[in-house]
Amino acid sequence: MDTVRSFGLRFKGTLAVVILAKQRGLIPSATDILRSLLNIGFRLDENAIREALSRTVGEKWE
């Protein structure tokens, strides 16, 4: 991460990228994308997912 900062680059995590894609209308459902990522082995915190979805795009994580 220090290398990224030393080049003046900004970075976002997977959850943030999916949320931004939903907010910009690039994907129909952030929930579906995040479920797919978990199913193929991505390690994402489900509490963080639940909170982010409800606060940003109004989707529910069940």
Asked if residue 3 is part of any domain, the answer here is no
What digits encode the pLDDT tens for the residues 4-38?
Answer: 677 777 778 999 999 999 999 999 999 999 999 99
- Model pLDDT, residue 38: 97
Tell me the CA end-to-end span of the chain in Å, nearest whole number. Answer: 32
Asked if residue 35 is part of any domain, the answer here is yes
pLDDT higher than threshold 60 for residue 51: yes
Nearest residue to 15 via CA among 60, 58, 40, 51: 51
Q: Which domain holds residue 19?
A: 14-56
What is the number of domains present in the chain? 1
Packing angle, helices 46-56 and 30-39, rounded to 10: 170
- Model pLDDT, residue 42: 95
